Structure formats: structure tokens, C-alpha cells
């Protein structure tokens, strides 16, 4: 089967389409015939060596997946033919989801949203799980004030939607051209990028744009700051609790998110699709920036 991999770190040109054996589902696992798989910034980070390695071992790319189960390991609890979404977390693994087949643990998948096609369903898992788990880390209560930076991005956009669903008062920070979108998804207030939030005005901030200290300054004394890239969060001050998300696969949470997508509460956005064989081209387009929505690879 074909899979997008890297055997050396670098730019988009490092991505190779290689022939690999079709993987086998072990106990508690399923094999998914991949219909679509989103391309995320974490894939670019893996490709460029942010997570280390570099010993020449081949690394598979891709975390998000949507497709149909075609093989089931002992005790997995799923059936051949089930349409699912899933998240394959982990770094430096030999096979990711940017492939014709992917093997995932049964607790890393959920039934795909019935109202979404595979391409849009594939854009949901990583970004929506990241937003949900970051909000859980923030532990804010209905009526409290939340600042979301990067509010028009994959994680930030879903954070706005989920925070609205939880009854939080949301200020969204994004480019001026994104105001209509983020307000339509549940933001109560909007700040265009470049404007400074009111200092010490928010109970919490989800810093999806990785603004660091500029975002931290908006948090009240004793509030909470959650970043999205471990190791990049600012130093604590003013009694603010500071943490960073390390997203994990969770089938129960994925199932909740799929149901929310079916109600329209979550809207995964797709900017472009590319065939799997053009994965390097897709990486190059991701590197250019400016997209609203995910690039999705189709085997």
C-alpha cells in the first residue's frame, strides 16, 4: 500500500510516497481503509524534525482519519464495515494515517458523524479533541470570561463553538476578515489581530495562536492560561495557573464531538483536498499559510 512518510527531516520535499505492507490489526485494534485524512501543523512539525529522531528510520505522517473498518482484532468491539473517525497520536511511528490503510486502537475511534462526508469528518478529530481537552483543562464555569486567540483556526474555531455550548462568555481574537465567521460560531465579542486585549480581564485564555506573554497579560490574577504547544508556554506570574495541551485520543470524547457535529454545533472546515500521491504539494501549500480550514488528503 501507499503511505506518506519521511526518512529525513526537511521541508515539503522530504515527504515521500512509499510502498509498505498492509498493516495488521492486533488485539484491541481495528484496521481502517482510509477514505480521507487531514493534514495538520503537527504533520509539518514531524516532517521538519521538531519531535526529534533523525536516525534514518522511516516515520509515517498523519494523525486524523476517516474511513471504514475492514479488519478487527480480538476484543476490539467494532465490526467490519463500520464507518469511523479516529486519531492516531504519537511521534516517530512507522505508519500514520496518510496512507491507504491505518491501524488504530479501538479506544481511539468513534462512529463518524452521519451528516458529514468523509472529507469533512477527517478534519474533526485532532482539532476538536484539542479544543475540548483544552477547555477541560481551563475548567471554567458558565458565565466566566474566556479569551480564545487564533479563534478562526482549526483548534480555536472549535474552542469557540464548544465554549459557547458550555455557556462561557467568549472573546475571539482573529484577523479582521474572520469576524463574521467567529461571531456566527458563538463568540460574544471580537478583537481583530493586532489589538491588545484588556489587561487582566479574563478568567482564562486558550492561546491557540501561541501569543505567549501577550495572551497571558489578558488573564486576571489567579486565572488560567492554556497553551497548545508543550514547552512554549510563558512563565507563571500573578498566581496564574499555566499549562499546555498534550492531546490524547479518546473514543468517548470523539463520540460526543461527532454528535455535536451532527447537530451543527461543530463545523469542521476543509480548504482543499489533494490526492495522497500529492502529499508533498499539500505540505507546501500548508507552509504558505492563509488557509481557512484543513487540507485533506484522499488516497
| Residues 191-231: tens digit of each pLDDT | 998 887 888 899 999 999 999 999 999 999 999 999 999 99
- State the architecture of 127-244 in CATH terms: 3-Layer(aba) Sandwich (3.40)
| Residues 70-94: tens digit of each pLDDT | 999 999 999 999 999 999 997 778 9
Quickly tell me which residue has 495488521 as its cell: 24
- Is pLDDT at 55 greater than 70 in this prediction? no
| Residues 123-169: tens digit of each pLDDT | 999 999 999 999 999 999 999 999 999 999 999 999 999 999 999 99
Specify the range with the lowest mean pLDDT, choosing from 12-16, 124-128, 230-234: 230-234
pLDDT-based confidence at residue 116 (cuts at 50, 70, 90): very high
Domain residue ranges of the chain, discontinuous segments joined by +: 2-124+268-298, 127-244
Quickly tell me which residue has 515521500 as its cell: 16
CA dihedral 113, 3, 40, 278 (to 10 degrees): -100
Is 0.75 surpassed by the pTM of this model?
yes
Specify the range with the lowest mean pLDDT, choosing from 83-92, 122-131, 232-241, 260-269: 83-92
| Residues 40-53: tens digit of each pLDDT | 999 999 999 988 76
Burial class (CB in 10 A: 0-12, 13-18, 19+), 1: middle
**Listed residue (139, 140, 159, 137) closest to 148, CA to CA:** 159
Angle made by CA atoms 259, 262, 267, in degrees to the nearest 5? 105
Instruction: Compute the distance between CA of residue 10 and CA of residue 147 in angstroms, rounded to an integer.
Output: 34
CATH code: domain 2-124+268-298 is 3.90.180.10
Q: Residue 209 is placed in which grid cell? A: 495562536
Amino acid at each position: 500500500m501507499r503511505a506518506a512518510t519521511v526518512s529525513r527531516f526537511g521541508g515539503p520535499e522530504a515527504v515521500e510516497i512509499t510502498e509498505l505492507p498492509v498493516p495488521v490489526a492486533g488485539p484491541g485494534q481495528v484496521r481502517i481503509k482510509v477514505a480521507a485524512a487531514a493534514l495538520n501543523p503537527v504533520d509539518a512539525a514531524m516532517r521538519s524534525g521538531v519531535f526529534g529522531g533523525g536516525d534514518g528510520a522511516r516515520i509515517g505522517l498523519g494523525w486524523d482519519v476517516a474511513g471504514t473498518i475492514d479488519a478487527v482484532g480480538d476484543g476490539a468491539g467494532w465490526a467490519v464495515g463500520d464507518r469511523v473517525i479516529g486519531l492516531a497520536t504519537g511521534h516517530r511511528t512507522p505508519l500514520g494515517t496518510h496512507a491507504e490503510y491505518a491501524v488504530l486502537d479501538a479506544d481511539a475511534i468513534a462512529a463518524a458523524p452521519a451528516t458529514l462526508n468523509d472529507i469533512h469528518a477527517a478534519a474533526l478529530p485532532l482539532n476538536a479533541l484539542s479544543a475540548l481537552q483544552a477547555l477541560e483543562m481551563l475548567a471554567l464555569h458558565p458565565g466566566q470570561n474566556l479569551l480564545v486567540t487564533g479563534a478562526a483556526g482549526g483548534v480555536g474555531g472549535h474552542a469557540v463553538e464548544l465554549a459557547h455550548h458550555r455557556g462561557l462568555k467568549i472573546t475571539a481574537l482573529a484577523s479582521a476578515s474572520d469576524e463574521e465567521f467567529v461571531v456566527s460560531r458563538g463568540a460574544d465579542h471580537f478583537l481583530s489581530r493586532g489589538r491588545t486585549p484588556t489587561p487582566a480581564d479574563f478568567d482564562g485564555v486558550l492561546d491557540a495562536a501561541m501569543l505567549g506573554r501577550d495572551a497571558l497579560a489578558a488573564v486576571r490574577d489567579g486565572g488560567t492560561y492554556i497553551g497548545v504547544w508543550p514547552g512554549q508556554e510563558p512563565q507563571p506570574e500573578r498566581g496564574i495557573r499555566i499549562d499546555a495541551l498534550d492531546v490524547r485520543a479518546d473514543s468517548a470524547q470523539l463520540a460526543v464531538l461527532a454528535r455535536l457535529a451532527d447537530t451543527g454545533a461543530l463545523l469542521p472546515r476543509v480548504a482543499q483536498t489533494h490526492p495522497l500521491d500529492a502529499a508533498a504539494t499539500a505540505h507546501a501549500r500548508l507552509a504558505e499559510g492563509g488557509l481557512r480550514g484543513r487540507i485533506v488528503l484522499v488516497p
